[in-house]
């Protein structure tokens, strides 16, 4: 479990990043973080990653205060994918990026086959020798997702992985998220894509004006439309459609199909 208490961060120019955020994130759950631009989502997860040191509050991971760990120590537990992939890519080929991530892994067995599996699973095999800057934004994001898969940490944090991603990439990301859920990983993802979240995420946290204004299940957030509107979002299409047609909330296409089968 990650227990975050009264977390606050302001930038050196005095700009508020986040203000007094507290939340408990259970292990093996999927949490989506949503909120308007500039509300503090990236600041919050950068504090979790250890890139920013919060001025107030604590982050306790499995009874250990991780504010005191270095980024390297923290990366044993937490894998992350930045909002802008270029901030994280620094090797000369895609394959080298994956190999570098795998080098930091505790278990060094079968590295060769793991490199191949990751390249395959991220559709990067035919691009392995290219410079990471010479592929599309979708592929750049998959390099980082591949690195996180390779590190095999228990917690994976992704900042807006779907933004700028094409349809094929989003489908592929969905498969990876479902795989991580089966592996009982804790997945934390910032996104504005409520349709993606409604299909794949159980829990949601809404940040607005630098504060957490809602935390709970995504379904409960959809039951009370004022919750989503406070975060400046509207109900996902599948939820709206199900409420209009059957007066019963569905947040996934599968639930919608099951509901109609019962007719
Ligand atoms: N490096 C920085 N220096 C100063 N202020 C910053 C910096 N980065 C972010 N901020 C400010 O902190 C606040 C929160 O920004 P943050 O990037 O966390 O928002 P966000 O919710 O991730 O937005 P977006 O949806 O646009 O990615 C904003 O007011 C922003 O202007
Ligand atoms: Mg952001």
Q: pLDDT tens, 171-208?
A: 999 999 999 999 999 999 999 999 999 999 999 999 99
Q: What is the largest CA-CA distance in the chain?
A: 59
Domains of the chain, start order: 2-77+155-165+183-233 (3.40.50.300), 87-152 (no CATH)
Per-residue pLDDT at 232: 85
- For ligand 1, atom 13, the nearest C-alpha belongs to 17
**Could you give phi then psi for residue 107, rounded to 5 degrees?**
-85, 110
To test ligand 1's pocket by mutation, which of 8, 11, 33, 53 has the most ligand atoms within 8 angstroms of CB? Answer: 11
Band (pLDDT 50/70/90 cuts) for residue 245 is: confident
Q: How many CB atoms lie within 10 A of CB 220?
A: 14
Per-residue pLDDT at 20: 97
Counting from 1 in the atom list of ligand 1, the atom nearest the Cα of 83 is 27
Is 107 a residue whose pLDDT tops 80?
Answer: no
Is 13's C-beta closer than 6 angstroms to any atom of ligand 1? Answer: yes
Q: Using CB atoms within 10 Å of the CB of residue 164, give its burial: 0 to 12 exposed, 13 to 18 middle, 19+ buried.
A: middle
Band (pLDDT 50/70/90 cuts) for residue 70 is: confident
Q: What is the 108 CA–ligand 2 centroid distance (Å)? A: 34
């Amino acid at each position: 479990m990650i227990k975050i208490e009264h977390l606050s961060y302001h930038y050196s120019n005095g700009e508020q990043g986040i203000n007094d955020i507290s939340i408990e994130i259970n292990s093996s759950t999927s949490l989506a973080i949503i909120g308007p631009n500039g509300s503090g989502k990236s600041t919050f997860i950068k504090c979790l990653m250890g890139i920013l040191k919060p001025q107030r509050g604590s982050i306790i991971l499995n009874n250990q205060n991780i504010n005191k760990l270095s980024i390297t120590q923290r990366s044993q537990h937490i894998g992350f994918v930045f909002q802008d992939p270029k901030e994280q890519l620094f090797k000369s080929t895609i394959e080298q990026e994956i190999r570098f991530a795998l080098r930091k892994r505790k278990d060094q067995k079968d590295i060769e086959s793991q490199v191949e599996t990751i390249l395959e699973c991220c559709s990067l095999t035919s691009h392995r020798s290219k410079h990471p800057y010479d592929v599309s934004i979708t592929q750049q994001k998959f390099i980082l997702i591949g690195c996180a898969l390779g590190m095999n940490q228990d917690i994976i944090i992704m900042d807006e992985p779907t933004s700028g991603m094409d349809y094929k990439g989003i489908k592929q990301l969905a498969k990876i998220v479902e795989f991580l859920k089966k592996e009982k990983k804790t997945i934390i993802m910032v996104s504005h894509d409520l349709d993606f979240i409604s299909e794949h995420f159980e829990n949601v946290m809404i940040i607005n004006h630098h504060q957490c204004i809602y935390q709970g299940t995504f379904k409960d957030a959809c039951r009370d439309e004022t919750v989503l509107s406070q975060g400046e979002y509207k109900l996902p299409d599948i939820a709206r459609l199900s409420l209009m047609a059957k007066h019963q909330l569905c947040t996934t296409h599968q639930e919608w199909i099951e509901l109609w089968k019962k007719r």
